[in-house]
Amino acid sequence: MIRVRGHEGERIAVLGLGRSGLSAAKALRAGGALPLCWDDGASGRAAAEAEGLDLLDPTAPGALEGVAAMIVSPGIPHLYPAPHPAVLAALKSGVPLDNDIGLFFRSWAEEGWESFDLPPKVIAVTGSNGKSTTSALIAHILREAGRDVQLAGNIGVGVLDCAPAVNGSIAVLELSSYQTDLARALTPDIAVFINLSPDHLDRHGGMGGYFAAKRRLFAEGGPDRAVVGVDEAEGLYLAGQLAEGPGDDRVIRISAAGKLDGPGWTVHARKGFLSERRKSRQVSSADLRELPGLPGAHNHQNVCAAWAAVRSLGLSPSVIKGALATFTGLPHRSQPVGEAGGIRFVNDSKATNVDAASRALQAFDKVRWICGGLMKEGGLDLLHPHLDRVAKAYVIGREAEAFALALGPGVTSEVCTTMAQAVARAAEEAEPGETVLLAPAAASFDQYDNFEKRGEDFASEVARALAG
């Protein structure tokens, strides 16, 4: 655990007692603060009491008197669509807001830092799609290279549950827009922006607010190195803002959509081949076509981001290539879960938005597509250019009929509603060479607690179908 610094002897409100909130409360206490905890759910409050933590309802009259700050968990809105009542009480009382990410960056450098031969580093990864895979891949490459690595944030452990920094250690953090939006300190050594597509728009008041939340990772502290995906206008704009000129190699531009050239430092992937270029010359390359844990162009974008991040730490191409070959991928992200009779079954339950689902579809030639759930803002129009790969869609979820209609007349679809029926029908109709792909393009909460449960149900039904 990292002891939070800068709040010694202060009363600190902690709102939301899930993984990050409870971790923050304990780390505050370890650093000498007095955390005062609250959660709207009785189970969260009970968990805090079981840890010996004090409870305080921030909305009670006078509750925030003498409180120095409020630490807000990522799932709690602080501005859009409306501030949580406890957040609003803090704002009206002039109590500053922060989160566990801000506490981490203020506390990561403990005593003895100046005595290290090799200063510890923080690599922070954000973007709309591929954050988890990119973060896990960076950590995997570094471990294969013999480095001391911790993976935290939206993946692995909570950031304050990391062990304190030691000589040469590296923390790889996956950070969502919910986390970057509120953190009062954001000072990674290397910051990675993979891509941007519409998501969480209600929470950020639209695309501008969503991009602004991501941009804070680069603007607040100024990383030593910025890895920026430039396949969307926002990435191009961000790279242009950060660079002092075309040859500024503090900004590494990455792309999976086309060749990058020029005097700066770039990494791009085309037709399954990665090319790293500096000063308009190729300095290294890699064949990505047969990597079992990283299929498709969307994963090649993740590889470009990871390659750039670890190259900026001085790792050699040969070490990186060896590590890429042993990376097995993550559950629920282009995860193979079965194969029989020339038919593959792939779990991409993490494809909870349209952009992620379109990237998943592009990774395979002919697809029996299991999709549906709670549709997000913006509809399904962005999927239409990639639906020629779909032999048939099998639609699940409470909104299955509306989802099937939104796919348009060009797609043969069947309303299945349940995962069991969708897998059974897809397995029955699939032909050799086809892929049965779960890539829902929607949230899971109409039928499941989270996307992991949805992916596990898919894998279970695939196992049942193959056994039968």
Query: Three-state DSSP class for 12?
Result: strand
Side chain identity, residue 337: V
Kindly list the structural domains of the chain, giving each domain's residue range(s) and its CATH number in brackets, ordered by start. Answer: 11-98 (3.40.50.720), 108-326 (3.40.1190.10), 335-467 (3.90.190.20)
Can you give the pTM of this predicted structure? 0.87
The predicted structure's pLDDT at residue 344:
94
The b-or-e profile of 115-154 (16+ CB within 10 A means b, else e) is eeeeebbbbbbbbbbbbbbbbbbbbbbbebbebbbbbbbb
266 labeled part of a ligand binding site: no
Residues forming a β-bridge with 13: 36, 70
Report mean pLDDT in 10-residue bins for the chain, 468 residues.
Answer: 96 95 97 97 95 97 97 95 97 97 93 86 95 96 97 92 94 96 96 91 93 96 95 97 94 95 95 95 95 85 97 97 93 90 94 89 93 85 89 95 92 96 97 96 90 95 92
Other beta carbons within 10 angstroms of residue 456's beta carbon come to 18
450 labeled part of a ligand binding site: no
The predicted structure's pLDDT at residue 163:
93
SS3 content of the chain, % helix, strand, coil (to 5): 35, 20, 40
DSSP element (H, E) containing 283:
strand 281-287
132 labeled part of a ligand binding site: yes
User: Could you tell me if 298 and 359 are in contact, meaning their C-beta atoms sit under 8 angstroms apart?
Assistant: yes
**149-153/190-193 β-pairing:** unpaired
128 labeled part of a ligand binding site: yes
20 labeled part of a ligand binding site: no
Q: Which among 59, 10, 66, 61 has a CA at the least distance from the CA of 39?
A: 59
Residue 289, sorted as left (phi over 0), alpha (psi -120 to 50) or beta, turns out to be alpha
The predicted structure's pLDDT at residue 112:
77
Residue 193, sorted as left (phi over 0), alpha (psi -120 to 50) or beta, turns out to be beta
